[in-house]
Amino acid sequence: MKRPTFTIRIFALVLLLAFFAALASASQNQPQLVKPMAGPRATVLRVTWLYIAPSASAQKIDRVQIGREMVVAEKSGAWLRVYANTDIEELHNDKDEPMVGGNETAPPVSGWIEAKGVVEETTPNGDAILMGAAASQEAAASNPRGPANAARSARLLYRRLVEMFPRSPLVPEAMWRAADIEWQIQRADAATLPSAHERDPDFRQQMDEDELRKVIKYFPRSKWAAFADFDLIDNKLCGDWQGSESCPAKETELYIRYADEYPDGPRTAHALYDAVYRLAVLSDMFAADGNKSKSEDAHNEARTVAAQMKTHFPDSDYTYRAGALVYKLDEGIPVYGIDQD
């Protein structure tokens, strides 16, 4: 059956105007979007068929994947007529768009869908439902036997929470998690490229920083900003040190600077451990080059940072791990390079 092209184009224009709205108030310090005029936003918690009529025996149009955005145009008993994005990947490249993501170019598909498993922006506790469903998908993504697209589904559900419930207290966490999932996917992809071994980070495939920077922009000095800033360090790291002291030296500075910026942050102990590890590596590198003075300086700095960790993060695994590294240095056990043993 031929689709109503004119109606779809009009609706797509309405979506563009609505989804690209500016912030309602800068003082609210979190993104706000204008509600689409065609109906309430919605999404699905399971892969759901889209039909040409409100009946399971009607012709199937397409499948709506978990977390895909929809707008409800009409209700008929246990059925909803919706405009939905189906299985076309959403693209978000507008760096000025306040919400997670930006320009979605694929036109929506119109059809009927069963109402069960659909969360609308009018659903009571809908934000909590989407958070739970997204977290479940994220947990499934870490299971080797889980669905292949679970991480993407989690990301989309987190994004829907932000867009459908912009005043929810869950928005900062949902925005961060959506951004982090995309970052980790890009990071894994970049690691498979030959450029991943380049020493200079400028010659490696860089992850898109836009969404993480939005988290920092809208929730400055928060734990979500601390999470985002820690991820961003990845783009500044050397791919392969190639025996050069400049790489661990520069990276040590990055992690120490991060810890200074977020002294009590959720990633600070991790950052300080990363700094101690690189100082231990520097101590080994300088010792191998016969530079005893610089080796001892790096050793002493590693000891100092580890002591600070013991004071500020006494129960952290990273503190214990840093202590073990310093012990190896004290005992003359190499941390970097098996040829030094």
Joined tokens for residue 36: 């689409």
> Quick one: pLDDT at residue 15?
43
C-alpha to C-alpha distance for 340 and 286, rounded to whole angstroms: 12
Contact assessment for residue 248 and residue 241, using Cβ atoms and an 8 Å cutoff: yes
> Quick one: pLDDT at residue 242?
87
pLDDT digits (tens, 9 = 90+) for 250-300: 999 999 999 999 999 999 999 999 999 999 999 999 999 999 999 999 999
pLDDT digits (tens, 9 = 90+) for 121-139: 999 999 999 999 999 999 9
Contact assessment for residue 22 and residue 98, using Cβ atoms and an 8 Å cutoff: yes
Residue 252: C-alpha distances to residues 7, 272, 286, 338 (Å): 57, 9, 15, 22
Strand partners, 51: 60, 112
> Quick one: pLDDT at residue 261?
96
- Tens-digit pLDDT profile for the chain (341 aa)? 444 443 444 444 344 334 333 333 333 455 544 445 568 999 999 999 999 999 999 999 999 999 999 999 999 999 999 998 875 555 444 443 444 444 444 578 899 999 999 999 999 999 999 999 999 999 999 888 888 899 999 999 999 999 999 999 999 999 999 999 999 999 999 999 998 888 888 888 999 999 999 999 999 999 999 999 999 999 999 988 988 999 999 999 999 999 999 999 999 999 999 999 999 999 999 999 999 999 999 999 999 999 999 999 999 999 999 999 999 999 999 998 654 43
* 33 secondary structure, DSSP code: -
- The reply to whether the predicted model has a pTM over 0.85 is no
Kindly list the structural domains of the chain, giving each domain's residue range(s) and its CATH number in brackets, ordered by start: 5-157 (2.30.30.40), 196-340 (1.25.40.10)
Contact assessment for residue 31 and residue 211, using Cβ atoms and an 8 Å cutoff: no
Average pLDDT in the chain: 85
Contact assessment for residue 98 and residue 214, using Cβ atoms and an 8 Å cutoff: yes
Q: What are phi and psi of 120, to 5 degrees?
A: -105, 165
> Quick one: pLDDT at residue 85?
81
Looking at the chain, list the stretches that DSSP marks H as alpha helix, in order from N- to C-terminal side. 5-19, 126-141, 150-164, 171-191, 210-218, 223-232, 246-261, 268-288, 292-312, 317-330
